Structure 1
Amino acid sequence: MRDYIRLSKIEGTASRQAHTDLPEGTYEREMSKEGFFGPAAHLYHQRPPTGWIDWEGPLRPRAFDLNKLNYRPNSPFEAATVLHNAHVKLRFWRASGKMERLARNGDGDELLFVHDGQGQLFCDFGRLDLRAGDYVMLPRGTMWRTEFDGDADLLMIEATNDSFHLPDKGMVGHHAIFDPAMLDTPVMDEAFRAQQTPQGKEEIWRIDIKRREALSTVTYPYNPLDAVGWKGDLTPVKINVEDFRPLMSHRYHLPPSAHTTFLAKRFVVCTFCPRPMEMDPAALKVPFFHNNDDFDEVLFYHRGDFFSRDNIDRGMITFHPCGFTHGPHPKALGGMFKPRKTATDEYAVMLDTRDALEVGALPEGIENHAYVNSWMPKKEAAE
């Protein structure tokens, strides 16, 4: 644990309680260490801290419309890499139908998020039904394939050379957000047994194994998903976002860290789900302006009304590199204390990385280069 200099002091006009009772006519900005876990300062500005009128340089906020990816590779290893660093890779796989080969990731655990579509996943451990909103965590080295009923879109997050864990939920207990008993595991049912190669029959099956970003292909004269049982405490798990019960506070806007779902050593995955709005009239009803000074922040928009964002639709992703202040778009500021709705209506996946992310080699037309202008006062914003 780092030994930070920690004290609490107030200078000038400020609120004594973060995210509530803002001095009239001010906008709160949080500057903190370790994401939302370390020491923090709250500064109160006369204007929105995102009121820029120009931006030059690589730290600009960016947005990508993944709906515009117009190819559907049969292999997950051919999915478009959107963002990556040495510790995580975020891909978007526009799948379709039945995989022709098995896949095995030797580079790290794989977290699949089903954005659209339904079908089945077959793996060493059995079979899982898949539908939109499912998270599926596949331990490193798991052999697997999917069969979708038509087209499907999946967000894929690789914990490179690492593993996914559940967060320590602290004083709210390990049953908060979702009870671990809600995690589904694969079953070796009749459908799983039916896809195995019968004894005495020969059929060619190939496995693509990814290790250090290179593929090796191993060929078998039978389907190697032929296990008849398993035991132990290592297995794929699945949970749907509709089963989440998010933490909430009626008098205080909780930071994104309260919605942590999975974590690895150098990044976290959070999930935003529908919840009641804060009821205290003095409490902020929108995300507070904050510096992301220790983490790059990525948001994938799955479904609903993304109340703090303007012109962002499902299937889009935003990327806010570490080093600048960001927060709600101007349209959302009118609902800072008087929300338009009594509850949020959004599902979104957030990836926060401790190490700088690089943008993948995406096709032309995927990035919305005008996204940085969306915070500008309307009279200054570019057309």
Structure 2
Amino acid sequence: MSNRKWIYASRIEGQASRQAHADFPPGTYEREMSKEGFFGPAAFLHHQYPPTAWTRFEGPLQPRAFDLAKLSPTDLTPWSSHSVLHNAATDIRMWTLSANMPALARNGDGDQLLFIHAGKGSLFCDFGHLEIEAGDYVYLPRGTMWRINPADPMSILMIEATNTHFTLPDKGLVGPHAIFDPALLDAPKMDEVFRAQQSDENHEWQVRVKKRKQVSTITYPFNPLDATGWHGELSPVRINIRHIRPLLSDRYHLPPSAHTTFLSDRFVVCTFAPRPFETDPGALKIPFFHSNDDYDEVLFYHAGDFFSRDNIDAGMMTFHPAGFTHGPHPKALNNMLQQTKRGTDEYAVMIDTRDPLDVGEGASSVENPDYVKSWAASVPETL
């Protein structure tokens, strides 16, 4: 990316701010148009009306919303979970689990990321035992055998890095300990709980392996989680969303890319966690309108008050395809330069994909068809 010779000329025409996301000409709304998400050259256009103040929006490009909390219960294997969104680079699913998995799972298609939306339980895998709870990200390297025994009913967002890996972002100038310290990544332990589960050898054990989107079942006459030790750099890890410390700027609204938690080849996973609002009088204090023509944008709402969205509750997901301008709902626009409280209190997971996503059968069954209308004629109070 750094070697590209962009067609690049920076200039100002008409009435415009010289600083992105701050000090707008009175009565205007800023829209960012950029290359490569928020990493390439960009233009910042100032409009007299909100760019989402449409009266009608027809066609497949319209924004969509799904209430994943309304999905029907699934069986006890992750490979039968509800398909939400997918493309060649990722498979996003929602899985509910209310009893112990009767068989182990292994993903041969790519690394697996579990986000625990609700519930808690014990995860057993080749590497040992982890207690997991709501708000946990659990990274499972490709090929890991695992199973979960829930203590409470669990709701799990599953994100697959198809035929590739998850990595950590380069944190650049702020250093490797910003956002979260790698010391917070907990690995499984071969503790007494893990050794106790090895003694359950009185029946056959199955491993259900997913490869090329097909499931094979391997049966053993013993518990295959029988490892006695391990060493190395590769293992599952866990980090809770409450341990993520977002980057802050009092004078500039940071783009979503500043909140990147995990990287894959063709998509990123970002985390929105509570943070103070910007305090500079001229700084934008809500997400900015942007024409993201390179990435599909997915947001899963975990907990809190989702200040830039209206009528969105925990367990819902929004999907904004690349190619149209989007931004905050009309309710949030009235607070774009002055907020009524000190900071946000939302937790959300964002997935931005470089390639277009297709909507799965699960998401289609719980779609809110009126979501696109929630911006209609969104002309707020005079600034």
Q: Report TM bin, short chain.
A: over 0.9
Alpha-carbon shift at residue 265 of structure 1 (Å) = 0.5
SS at 1:195 equivalent: helix
SS at 2:99 equivalent: strand
2:29 paired with 1:27: yes
Of residues 105, 110, 113, the one that matches 1:111 is: 113
How far, CA to CA, are the matches of 1:364 and 1:268 in structure 2? 23
Please name the residue that 1:137 is paired with: 139
| 1:378–1:7 Cα change, 3 Å | closer
How far, CA to CA, are the matches of 1:272 and 1:216 in structure 2? 37
How far, CA to CA, are the matches of 1:29 and 1:96 in structure 2? 45
Alpha-carbon shift at residue 202 of structure 1 (Å) = 4.2
My pick for the range that moved more, 4-13 or 154-163, is 4-13
Contact 1:64 1:317 (C-alpha < 8 Å) held by counterparts: yes
Alpha-carbon shift at residue 150 of structure 1 (Å) = 2.9
Deviations 1:130-158 (A, max 9, x none): 01000000000000000111311000000
SS at 1:185 equivalent: coil
Contact 2:68 2:363 (C-alpha < 8 Å) held by counterparts: no
Please name the residue that 1:223 is paired with: 223
Q: Which runs of 5+ in 2 are unaligned?
A: none
Please name the residue that 2:246 is paired with: 246
Contact 1:197 1:203 (C-alpha < 8 Å) held by counterparts: no
Q: Which runs of 5+ in 1 are unaligned?
A: none
Contact 2:322 2:356 (C-alpha < 8 Å) held by counterparts: yes
How far, CA to CA, are the matches of 1:364 and 1:373 in structure 2? 18
Please name the residue that 1:151 is paired with: 153
How far, CA to CA, are the matches of 2:191 and 2:150 in structure 1? 18
2:346 paired with 1:349: no
SS at 1:331 equivalent: helix
SS at 2:261 equivalent: strand
Partner AA of 1:49 in structure 2 = P
How far, CA to CA, are the matches of 2:273 and 2:116 in structure 1? 15
Q: What's the % identity of the aligned pairs?
A: 65
Alpha-carbon shift at residue 65 of structure 1 (Å) = 0.2
Contact 2:297 2:353 (C-alpha < 8 Å) held by counterparts: yes
Q: 1:206-221 to 2 correspondence within 5 Å?
A: 206-221=206-221
2:181 paired with 1:166: no
Partner AA of 2:359 in structure 1 = V
Please name the residue that 2:288 is paired with: 288
RMSD of aligned Cα (Å): 1.1
| 1:252–1:147 Cα change, 3 Å | same
Deviations 1:50-97 (A, max 9, x none): 011111110000000001112232001111010000000000001112
How far, CA to CA, are the matches of 2:306 and 2:364 in structure 1? 25
Please name the residue that 1:176 is paired with: 178
> TM-score normalised to the size of structure 1?
0.97
Q: 1:268-279 to 2 correspondence within 5 Å?
A: 268-279=268-279
SS at 2:195 equivalent: helix
How far, CA to CA, are the matches of 2:173 and 2:363 in structure 1? 46
Partner AA of 1:263 in structure 2 = L
Please name the residue that 2:73 is paired with: 71
How far, CA to CA, are the matches of 1:38 and 1:364 in structure 2? 34
How far, CA to CA, are the matches of 1:234 and 1:341 in structure 2? 43
SS at 1:249 equivalent: coil
SS at 2:312 equivalent: coil
Contact 1:65 1:367 (C-alpha < 8 Å) held by counterparts: yes
How far, CA to CA, are the matches of 2:363 and 2:56 in structure 1? 26
Please name the residue that 1:371 is paired with: 371
| 1:227–1:171 Cα change, 3 Å | same
Alpha-carbon shift at residue 365 of structure 1 (Å) = 4.7
Contact 2:53 2:378 (C-alpha < 8 Å) held by counterparts: no
